[in-house]
Structure 1
Amino acid sequence: MRLLKYIVLTLTAATCIAVALICAFLQDEHSIVPVIIPSKEYPGITNISSNPFHASNIKKPRTKPHHNKHVESRQSTTNISSNTTRTVSSSIPSSVVSNASLALTSQGSSLDHQSTTGISSNTSHSVTLSAWTSEKEEMVRNRYELRKELLKEKCHTTSGYRVGGEGLRALPKLSYYNAKYKVLGCVSAKAGASTWKTHFLRMNGYTKPIENPHTEWAHRLVRARQVLQRQQVAEVLNSPSITRFISVRHPISRMISAYNNKFDYGRVHVPSRGLGGTSQFIKYIMEMEGTEFHEDQPVMVTFRQFINLILYQKTKGIKKINNHWRPQYHLCYACSVPYDYIIKQETFDEDLQYLTDKLNITEVKVSLKSNSFGQSNKTYEDHFRDIPKDLIKKILNLYRLDFLLFGYKVPKFFKDLLSPQR
């Protein structure tokens, strides 16, 4: 009898130990080491996910543009051509080009955060909003005043660059309006457009989840040209009861962000089709290089090819430059619309906090960052190191007024590179 009890107790204890071990093993799933099977197509590559040309890593072509949800990540996956990119001629006079890049350096404000070490799709510096103090509010107010005065001064000296139209065309195409708070804002692409559209939709009372603020239905709710009547335009543009702002970004940072966004950080990918797709741009590039274009062919667009694309569009007229890299002063009629506030991506959180407090806007979530791509560790130097000086001069000249009107400095790398002593 004792022997039987001993056997039962032993079996019970063994069963408990086994159950405990099994439960512990099942809970620790990450301890399981996956089996990596070599690829038959690429026997030298054991981890198939590291092969950029594998079908699982190549983005499929899209028939319609698919913009992001609030946070969009872009995976990448042959080369348009080798290093035979041709230099595209520019219509910029050589006398202007020669000294333009070195003449843009004196208007940067020391209150603005500038960085050339890492290029991020959203370069806004975070701010601890709980530490929002009267001193910080005063600092932001003074910064706004400096920016406004600078814009006014430089617009006065560059009056020949005023752009705009009549009637509803007097409103920038990329401007948004909210009647509740009487606020008009112009935001160029790659300068917080997704975030601002979301804010305006919320201010207009739209409470449902917003996956894509770039759709036509969204534009009908917030775009100034679509929500205002012709007879309202003059008041919105001139009345002191209307708050007007423009949201901008460092020209080079914005251009690099557009490249990363549209051409997948320079990695191999299948061009997207439809409105806003990249097929049209890649077709231009391949035509310039005498290469046959195939829509579904995986490609890799180099940064030099991207610069050539911008300068090629410039030869057709500034209006032919795509909105994602067209100069911001032109997109937002910087010298034609009397803006009260110049918001910068580099100080976005602080700027937005001040504006929402002043206007008592309750629907805006300051921490929201829509269409925020992961940060790239590449610097300006990494992108422009192999770009010929003549192309760099043309790019700096193209964005000359963005530097001048909004107080941005030309990065030291460019000044050193283009210095006459070198």
Structure 2
Amino acid sequence: MARYSGFKQLLGYVVSMFLIALSFYQWDMSQRKLEERIHETQELRKQLLRETCAGDKETFKHRLEDVRDKELANLIVDDKHGIIYCYIPKVACTNWKRVMFSLTQDEPYPDPVSISSYLVHLPNTLPLLISFPRPEMKAKLKHYTKFLFVRDPFVRLISAYRNKFLQHNEEFYQRYGRHILRLYANQPDPPQSLDEANASGMRVSFQNFIQYLLDPLTERNVPFEPHWRQMQRLCLPCLIKYDFVGHQETLQQDSSQLLKILMLQDDIQFPPSYENMTTHAVLLDWFSAVPLEDRRKLYELYEEDFRMFGYKRPRELLDG
């Protein structure tokens, strides 16, 4: 009887070990399949960039000699790890700047979550490509691992509008809000401060914001502010051959894979994202007050971003 009991215990142990090994095998296989799928997605994203750039050599800049330094102002350099990151406002750029800042510190790297968002947006906090002589810039662009993260262009505009015109932002009210109210909201003498504007119930509407973007005079003297400048203009993907193209819509998955590619997955973690994803219904609601003709013009303004980065033309907004 004792021998039979011992056999049962041994059998139970063997079965338990088998089930544990099987679960680890299944987990490992699922991880491999996920990584293969991400790799295939990356190849498709980069192929789309190459094809779009090759198909329109007149529109997009392809040579460093044709670009002024200020057009490269969004490229952050990490010499220690051989990385160049092109940041795009409203596309997880605060958290990626936190990661880039952490990597400039001594090991063990500080948790990016602990890094102040205010600090990483200050000038001169992170080294920029334009701080180097042109020959060095060219060498770094050739040899470093280059990446960017993009987002649905219309959803990015909504995020920029909410951040700069619905939240309390005196700077943007003074630089843009009063001007927009004056020209597009029939307010010849807008309040002097944002607090006064809020007290009187006066606010830049999303439709006013779109009117401002569509006005040909807006870019007569200066380019679009980076929060609503086209992504392809900020990161020049026909000039810079990016090794990794992340999407906001798959942010955590893409970020995790990128850190593996950079061989940093054991050293640093990308912060969790809490921004609500804009649904199809929410997108329709935001544009409900924008005339159909203006929606179509807006698409034309950001069409290269849609095409280059694989975002579908929003037919429900543009086809009436």
State the TM-score, normalized to the length of structure 1.
0.60
Counterparts of 2:219 and 2:190 in 1: how far apart (Å)? 21
Helix, strand or coil at the partner of 1:409: coil
Counterparts of 2:69 and 2:190 in 1: how far apart (Å)? 36
Counterparts of 1:138 and 1:195 in 2: how far apart (Å)? 26
Unaligned runs of 5+ in 2: 1-26
1:237 and 2:147 correspond = no
Counterparts of 2:102 and 2:256 in 1: how far apart (Å)? 16
Higher relative contact order, structure no. (Cα contacts within 8 Å, ≥ 6 residues apart): 1
Q: 2:35 aligns with which of 129, 132, 137?
A: 137
Contact 2:212/2:218, CA 8 A, preserved across alignment: no
Helix, strand or coil at the partner of 1:386: coil
Q: 1:285 aligns with which of 157, 177, 180?
A: 180
Counterparts of 1:134 and 1:402 in 2: how far apart (Å)? 31
Give the match for residue 336 of structure 1: 239
1:203 and 2:203 correspond = no
Counterparts of 1:271 and 1:134 in 2: how far apart (Å)? 45
Q: Note closer, same or farther for the CA distance 1:287–1:301 as it changes in structure 2 (3 Å cut).
A: closer
Letter in 2 for 1:177: V
Shift of the alpha carbon at 1:315?
4.5
Q: 2:287 aligns with which of 384, 387, 390?
A: 384
Counterparts of 1:311 and 1:174 in 2: how far apart (Å)? 24
Letter in 2 for 1:222: P
Counterparts of 2:30 and 2:69 in 1: how far apart (Å)? 39
Q: How does 1:121-270 map to 2 (within 5 A)?
A: 133-163=31-61, 166=65, 169=69, 172-205=72-105, 207=110, 209-211=114-116, 212=118, 213-218=120-125, 221-226=126-131, 228-239=132-143, 242-264=144-166
Q: Note closer, same or farther for the CA distance 1:256–1:130 as it changes in structure 2 (3 Å cut).
A: farther
Helix, strand or coil at the partner of 2:272: coil
Letter in 1 for 2:192: E
Contact 1:185/1:246, CA 8 A, preserved across alignment: yes
Q: Note closer, same or farther for the CA distance 1:375–1:406 as it changes in structure 2 (3 Å cut).
A: closer
Helix, strand or coil at the partner of 1:322: coil
Contact 1:171/1:224, CA 8 A, preserved across alignment: no
Give the match for residue 11 of structure 2: none
Helix, strand or coil at the partner of 2:215: helix
Letter in 2 for 1:214: H
Q: CA deviation digits over 1:153-192, x for unaligned, max 9?
A: 0111111122375488287211111112211111211111
Contact 1:168/1:225, CA 8 A, preserved across alignment: no
Q: 2:268 aligns with which of 342, 360, 364?
A: 364
Helix, strand or coil at the partner of 1:222: coil
